[in-house]
Amino acid sequence: MSEESSTGITVAEKFFGLLLVIIGALSIYYTFITSQTLVAFTGFFALLSAVLLVLGIILIIARPE
């Protein structure tokens, strides 16, 4: 029974990581596309987007124990 529940958690973790990677990549793309509009805040939004991207990659790579 413990095996089944940990498999579900692992799948959920990988799915959430993939979702974060997609959201992070899209937000980086749209941040740099609209950089003329976001003049003073481009770096801030790029940093937040990069954090989302890195967290998603870490969730995908992480190995559950």
Q: What is the DSSP letter of 62?
A: -
* Model pLDDT for residues 1-18, shown as the tens digit of each residue: 455 558 888 899 999 999
Percent of the chain with pLDDT over 70: 92
pLDDT number for residue 63 = 83
Show the domain range for 44: 2-61
CB 56 within 8 A of CB 42: no
63 vs 57: which has the higher pLDDT: 57
Whole-angstrom CA distances from 49 to 1, 7, 23, 40 are: 38, 29, 8, 16
Nearest Cα to Cα of residue 21 among 62, 63, 57, 58: 57
Whether 33 has a pLDDT exceeding 90, the answer reads: yes
Query: What is the number of domains present in the chain?
Result: 1
pLDDT number for residue 6 = 80
